[in-house]
Chain A
Amino acid sequence: MDANVITTTDLRKVYRSRGREVTALDGVDLAVREGEVFGVVGRSGAGKSTLIRCVNLLERPTAGTVEVAGRDLTALAGRSDRAPAALRAARAGIGMVFQHFNLLSSRTAQENVELPLEILGVHGRRTRAARARELLDLVGLSDDQARAYPGQLSGGQKQRVGIARALAGDPKVLLSDEATSALDPETTRSVLRLLRDLNRQLGLTVLLITHEMDVVKAVCDSAALMKGGRIVESGTVTELLATPGSELAGELFPVDGRASGPDRTVVDLTFHGDSATQPVISQLSRTYNVDVSILGAAIETVDGLQIGRMRIELPGRFEDNVVQIGHLRERGVQVDVADLTAGAEAVK
């Protein structure tokens, strides 16, 4: 049994318009493991939106395959423009949440959640209504809000309706297309918390795309960085941190700061796993009787473990600090010397 719930193999998408070809996806291999929250980040135009829309084949890839929950959707799609019944059935098992919610304005929140149940052929008005109420309750909406029309709800409430609607088909996979990009920071946090809770409670695998690093930091187990239609970096957050020069790690845990003068050594420390539980800095300071100054730090506590990076400054040149750096490495901290000549910016 494959542990990957979503697998794309050499996915390509080329748009043709007025004789010009635009390559949106240039051979994307994506593997999302069961039960994880996977974030794809990138600037607009990097192809991440096309990628997520290819996963449920709202967008037909030009080449390559998409497998979701062990089924090859690209094979189900056939060659016609229209979606055959088999593909539609498969889609019903993949929930999708949209940036602009996409709720029907002529239906109440509850009726919006009933819509996928109608499409799934759930019989009986009462059965559908009861199920819709359950789902709305699950996402934290009251009976009053269930009776409201989307126009009467706030952005965060609308997105909760959107999430409830996406869960109606008991999906294994939830696709989130910039679901929090239209929301304010506070609401974003609460919606992300909800996604995280659903991921844990229901074992739901979540693939989300976003342009906000904070979203990845808040909920993602794994992340991939897209550039020009390709995935340039990918892995669990810990793996990314452990990768020297990782651009994603750098953006997730940005550290800044320059040496305060000549004859200083600036080093970047990366904490992941066990090292983060030890007070390494103060140990270093006491053991070698050196003054350590912290130039910048970006540390998060995830599941009781501290993860992140820190930039510190040690007195003396690099040659004077070899022992100290060795000490840090022994403690399981990843050490990268930021710049050998004071003043020059760090090697990215």
Chain B
Amino acid sequence: MTWSQMHPLLTQALGETLRMVAWSTALSVAIGLPIGLLLVLTDRGGLLRNVPVNRALGLVVNVGRSLPFVILMIALLSFTRAVVGTTIGWEAAVVPLTVGAVPFFARLVETAVREVDHGLVEAVQAMGGGTWTVVRKVLLPESLASLLAGATTTVIALIGYSAMAGVVGGGGLGDLALRYGYQRFETGFMWVIVAVLVVLVTLVQLAGDLAARAAARRGRTSAAPRPRLPRTRTTAPAPSAPSASTPPPAVPPASTPAG
């Protein structure tokens, strides 16, 4: 196969994969975020303590998490047909992808939100804030970095699932790899597809890391006892020397802004 033959096939398949992943990510976040929050809020000691609801949600999430995606996809065929009207094509694949990713993301949300210091919740309650205020002003902003990291993991998992969805008529890169790489022995094309997937996953991870770091930069510096001085020191004198291990040259204290 020549590049000119591969190119249009690749463009189309990549487009399908991206659309599949984008839609299922959006839907998984939209559904998984409230479920993850509810898992924390309805738990013992939570603001909306409701043990039956918590147990039921936990059970649903666990069942969703324990089913292999291939099986989930086939089991959902009739549901998919009822929702989208077909079981073929990337639009149809969005349904099982979302159903598979929601419990996954919900657990990640739960873990992230549980890490928020309970003292902050109490502080807002002491100010007269209700549950919604706590969620909006404390739980979500304080766990933003972890939530973004969780979303990144979910996107990458969805890219993997989407390849499986290709096998049963979902289209995208997985479908392409199956039809050309496996059924027609186009090993070269197969490697091209693998390369595209590697680049795709790397880019997603990179973007996710950047976003998570940007969110974390503001808060998590509190781990260091006196982060203010080192920060002004390392950035002020020599931005060209990134090595943090070399001790910074003596900086006249006058150059640091008085805090």
A residues in contact (CB < 8 Å) with B: 56, 58, 81-83, 85, 88-92, 94, 96, 98, 100, 102-107, 115-116, 118-120, 144-145, 148-154, 165, 168-169, 175
Contacts and interface: CB of A to CB of B under 8 A. Distances in A.
Given A105-B222, A150-B222, A58 B127 contact: no
Given A102-B117, A148-B259, A150-B222, A116 B227 contact: no
A152 B142 contact: no
Nearest to B46: A81
Interface of B: 47-49, 117, 119-120, 122-131, 133, 137-138, 141-142, 144, 215, 218-224, 226-228, 231, 257-259
Contacts of B228: 148, 152-153
A107 B228 CA distance: 16
B130 A151 contact: no
B122 to A, nearest CB: 6
Given A81-B49, A102-B120, A88 B130 contact: yes
Contacts of B215: 106
A144 B228 CA distance: 12
Contacts of A116: 127-128
B222 A115 contact: no
Contacts of A154: 226
A71 B124 CA distance: 21
Contacts of A102: 117, 119-120, 122-123
Q: Which 8 A-B pairs have the closest CB atoms?
A: A105-B219, A151-B222, A92-B128, A102-B123, A151-B221, A96-B126, A102-B119, A88-B128
Contacts of A89: 128
A171 B127 CA distance: 10
B117 to A, nearest CB: 7
B47 A100 contact: no
Given A100-B117, A119-B128, A152-B259, 19 more contacts: A56-B126, A58-B125, A82-B130, A83-B130, A91-B125, A92-B128, A103-B120, A103-B123, A104-B120, A104-B137, A104-B141, A104-B142, A105-B218, A151-B219, A151-B222, A152-B227, A152-B231, A153-B228, A165-B127
Question: Quick one: which of B141, B144, B219, B220 has the most chain A CB within 10 A?
Answer: B219
Question: Quick one: which of B117, B125, B131, B141 has the most chain A CB within 10 A?
Answer: B125
B129 A145 contact: no
B221 A120 contact: no
A89 B259 CA distance: 36
B206 to A, nearest CB: 23
A93 B257 CA distance: 37
A58 B126 contact: yes
Contacts of B124: 115, 119
B141 A106 contact: yes
Contacts of B231: 152
Question: Quick one: which of A91, A119, A151 has the most chain B CB within 10 A?
Answer: A151
Contacts of B222: 105, 149-151
B104 to A, nearest CB: 25
A306 to B, nearest CB: 39
Given A144-B259, A151-B219, A152-B228, A96 B123 contact: yes
Contacts of A152: 221, 227-228, 231, 259
A344 to B, nearest CB: 49
A106 B129 contact: no
Contacts of B47: 82
A91 B125 CA distance: 8
10 contacts: A82-B48, A83-B125, A96-B123, A106-B141, A106-B142, A118-B137, A151-B221, A152-B221, A153-B228, A169-B128
A119 B219 contact: no
